[in-house]
Structure 1
Amino acid sequence: MKHIGIFGGSFNPIHCGHVALAEEILRHTSLDEIWLMVSPHNPLKQQNDLLDDQKRLALAEKALQGHPHINVSDYEMHMPRPSYTWNLLEALTADFPGHVFSLIIGGDNWDLFNRWYRADDIRRKYPIIVYPRPGSTMVPADDDHACCHLTVVNAPLLDVSSTAIRARIQRGESIIGMVPDSIIADVERFYHQ
């Protein structure tokens, strides 16, 4: 039985912080693999500057070549929209009965977790791995640990974001060191408008 961490997001675009975080989580947990789940649309976010699904997926696949324990998945793109994490986890559990799934989320999402669709069910049924994000308190209350299997990974914060990358491209600035070298040209081409 494999223990799989589900690391979802828009990855608009994937960047060095995502890759480093996934590697750090693999080092500090019992996960066998991380499935980087490229999301079609987050119901809690605006979608106006979201790059085409297939382009974001292709960028993630190219960026993660050479990372054998991090797999890019388009599974969520084939699910009904809006996409909810509870539905995703339940579908994965049904389709992959030989795997155990954990949810990987940032501290900012943990702060808002009570707003998520079927948050209590997720907490009861699935282990949750929380990592730091700028501006999040990420201090789970004692009852958080009591109601669910919660792991906090104190991974280092990298000062890089997809929003900043998109803004730098629009200003004609370099994104070297912000995204893996293998995708710099593609990211600049896809996001330059």
Structure 2
Amino acid sequence: MNRKVGLFFGTFNPIHIGHLIIANHMAEFSDLEEIWLVVTPHNPLKKKSTLLENHHRLEMVYKACANFERLKPSNIEFGLEQPNYTVKTLLHLQEKYPTNEFCPIMGEDNLKSLHKWKNYEVILENHQIYVYPRISAEKVQNQFKNHPKITRVAAPVMEISSTFIRKAIAEGKNISPMLPEEVWDYIKLMNFYKKKTV
């Protein structure tokens, strides 16, 4: 019997309690045995803006997952050619770990653009997709409404965003309750997301 592994992709810039709540909910309340938090590397073709270096974001994910046995940080995409597509990551993982069954996890708002993903039919043919609710979710394409390869999990609806956290830190706000303690300590130690003084 293959082990079912959920893949929760994100830039995690930074990882926050919303990410952890969803990932842990998927581990505890679905048939997924492990959740890998896949840190998306910086796309060299895009403007860097406020995205921290890959290793710093991975380090924060390691710190955030330390106390959760079934949540695993993953840097699997760091070594793949950029720009990368989910379909390529899934193929790479399946070759590397043939006894695992990999299942992408996405918010309901991403489901509406799934038909625009590269080779999305291949993903649906070979993988079960797990979907969690989002307040911002618009009408989902009819083809995905009752799709046999799409599993909806009634996880808590999270309205925390990394964008909000970065902005708040730049403004000098204390938003420590929104972050795992170790992540908050690391951000303070490294002086991340602070407003640059000229």
* Aligned equivalent of 1:177: 177
* Aligned equivalent of 1:151: 151
How many Å apart are 1:168 and its aligned residue? 0.3
How many Å apart are 1:58 and its aligned residue? 0.2
Residue pair 2:169, 2:175 contacting (<8 A) in 1 also: yes
* Aligned equivalent of 1:190: 192
* Aligned equivalent of 1:54: 55
Deviations along 1:120-176, whole A, 9 cap, x unmatched? 1111111000112231137563x4266551101121112311000000001000111
- The 5 A counterparts of 1:1-193 are 1-41=2-42, 47-137=48-138, 139=140, 141=142, 143-144=143-144, 148-188=148-188, 189-193=191-195
Distance in 2 of aligned mates of 1:158 and 1:177: 14
Provide TM-score, normalisation by structure 1: 0.91
> Which range is displaced more, 170-179 or 180-189?
180-189
How many Å apart are 1:92 and its aligned residue? 0.3
Distance in 1 of aligned mates of 2:26 and 2:47: 28
1:191 partner SS: coil
Q: What's the Cα RMSD here? A: 1.9
Matched residue type, 2:165: I
1:7 partner SS: strand
How many Å apart are 1:47 and its aligned residue? 4.2
How many Å apart are 1:187 and its aligned residue? 2.0
Distance in 2 of aligned mates of 1:42 and 1:116: 17
Matched residue type, 1:192: K
The count of corresponding residues between Structure 1 and Structure 2 is 191
Distance 1:174 1:22, change over 3 A: same
Distance in 1 of aligned mates of 2:69 and 2:43: 27
How many Å apart are 1:61 and its aligned residue? 0.2
Percent of residue pairs bearing the same amino acid type:
34
Provide TM-score, normalisation by structure 2: 0.89
Distance 1:172 1:118, change over 3 A: same
Residue pair 2:34, 2:72 contacting (<8 A) in 1 also: yes
How many Å apart are 1:185 and its aligned residue? 2.3
2:176 partner SS: coil
Distance in 2 of aligned mates of 1:105 and 1:140: 15
